[in-house]
Structure 1
Amino acid sequence: MAIASNLQNIKATLPENVTLVAVSKTKPVSDLMEAYDAGQRIFGENKIQEMADKWEQMPKDILWHMIGHVQTNKVKFMAPFVQLVHGVDSLKLLQEINKQAAKNDRIIACLLQIHIAEEETKFGLDKTELQAILASDAFHEMKNIKVIGLMGMATFTDNKNQVKKEFLHLKSLFDEFKNQPTENCQLSTVSMGMSGDYQLAVECGSTMVRVGSSIFGGRN
């Protein structure tokens, strides 16, 4: 029952406006079902094939979030069911999600990933690229996606001040762009914060946190 009590403990620390994504990558369906039975309905996976396998086996009221880096050629495998794609970092990927969503007669929600970390390895857009995508004709023509927010991953460091600075940068970009809604872009979600730093992220304005090891225990 550790998973259920872990979930309760985390939810008790989260404000009502913050969505908890249970990061279930690499975990067996039995673990996910334990979280499901404890009331969790939003699960985050980082591999499309693994997510699709779990989707087939598990109850259909689960909301599946794709939190990993997405390859365009894999989008079609999640398009029938994915609820939110977190790491959208290019116009090309948006176009593919839009195309596959149309084939499935769906509108797929997306978060645009902003590069906030000082590490080169993290994916994401900078402010200029974000601006360019949102202003482009190609973006405005997409009828089967909806950009509902921004997402970012802070530098993996114990330096809380640096992490805070990165979170606040993402929040300020969100505040700047949220008042420019178009039909397929209405920013309401700031997704930042993971097991190690989600409380700081919430203090900085996060409305969606991705927590894995604190719920399911460490990964092998």
Structure 2
Amino acid sequence: MSEFLKNNIMDIKNKINLLCIKYKRKPTDIELIAVSKFHEANKIQEAYSNGLTHFGENYIQEWQKKSDFLSPILSDLKWHIIGHIQNNKAKFINDKVHCLQSLDSLSLAKEIEKKSQLDLKLNILIQLQIDMNDLNKSGIQIEKTNELLDFISQSKKLSLKGFMGIGPAEIDYLKRKDLYFNFVENSNKLWNLYYNNPINQKPIISLGMSSDYELAIECGSTMLRMGTAIFGDRIKS
């Protein structure tokens, strides 16, 4: 298994480097998140030993078990929560979370503010809806972000780092490309409004998975969430 993971990680990193040359991007501007949901802790350890430190989990309960086991062993491991979080799970968010990528509502932000176990500010990405016709994806509509951004600006527990999006599962390539470019453009606009013309600050744009990461890099993504390409197919437990 270690050779399987090692080869996958090397292959992905090489492909990212080549795509950055193709699209005139800097490889150092793109962070790779290994999506480890439904994969055992030993696979995460193997991926870590092959140079990956950022791991994404969808479900709070699964993340808690892995975090309790791995965090004391792997001191610089960084956990990203990338799945939809129900409001009643906000109380389980703590300082072991490096980044919550799926903040998609004002109500969830308020619950985290009231009930989370945080001593430090939590890095968050706002999950924006990429396609209003895709009913299977969470995300706040761009037109409804004002109240959420206002709340974050006054929050004692939340620190805005950028935006996340999940593309539709099945869609025409050119339509997907148009949606992704619009997502990146809207993310940058919201960031500039929030930070009022920031100097030397750019938003994290978490866009692209194993099936569409080339397009995401072309469109301006700075963070890729890849599971299958690293770990292989998932076996749901």
One-letter amino acid of the counterpart of residue 87, structure 1: S
Output the CA distance in 1 between the equivalents of 2:85 and 2:188: 26
Contact 2:188 2:203 in 1 (8 A): no
Change (3 A) 1:182 1:144: farther
- Counterpart for residue 204 of structure 2: 189
Between the two proteins, the alignment pairs up a number of residues equal to: 216
22-31 or 173-182: bigger deviation = 173-182
142-151 or 204-213: bigger deviation = 142-151
One-letter amino acid of the counterpart of residue 162, structure 2: G
Supply the RMSD in Å over aligned alpha carbons.
1.9
Secondary structure of the equivalent of 2:224? strand
Output the CA distance in 1 between the equivalents of 2:180 and 2:126: 15
Secondary structure of the equivalent of 2:102? strand
User: Does 1:3 pair with 2:5?
Assistant: yes
1:48-100 deviations in whole A, cap 9, x for unaligned?
11111111111231100001000122122232310111111111111222334
**Partner residue of 2:108 out of 90, 93, 99:** 93
Contact 1:97 1:108 in 2 (8 A): no
Contact 2:121 2:158 in 1 (8 A): yes
Structure 2 unaligned spans of 5+: 17-26
User: Does 1:110 pair with 2:117?
Assistant: no
Output the CA distance in 1 between the equivalents of 2:84 and 2:101: 8
Where has structure 1 moved over 3 Å in runs of 4 or more? none
- Counterpart for residue 14 of structure 2: 12
- Counterpart for residue 156 of structure 1: 169
User: Does 1:168 pair with 2:181?
Assistant: yes
Secondary structure of the equivalent of 1:83? strand
Alignment of 1:1-220 (within 5 A): 1-14=3-16, 15-58=27-70, 59-101=74-116, 103-117=117-131, 118-134=133-149, 136=150, 138-157=151-170, 159-182=172-195, 188-220=203-235
Structure 1 unaligned spans of 5+: none
One-letter amino acid of the counterpart of residue 191, structure 2: K
One-letter amino acid of the counterpart of residue 128, structure 2: I
Output the CA distance in 2 between the equivalents of 1:54 and 1:78: 14
Output the CA distance in 1 between the equivalents of 2:37 and 2:225: 11
Task: Percent identity, please.
Answer: 34
Secondary structure of the equivalent of 1:150? strand
Change (3 A) 1:83 1:213: same
Output the CA distance in 1 between the equivalents of 2:203 and 2:228: 26
1:112-137 deviations in whole A, cap 9, x for unaligned?
11111331121111121113322x3x
One-letter amino acid of the counterpart of residue 9, structure 1: D
Relative to the length of structure 1, the TM-score reads 0.91
- Counterpart for residue 23 of structure 2: none
Deviation, structure 1 residue 213: 0.3
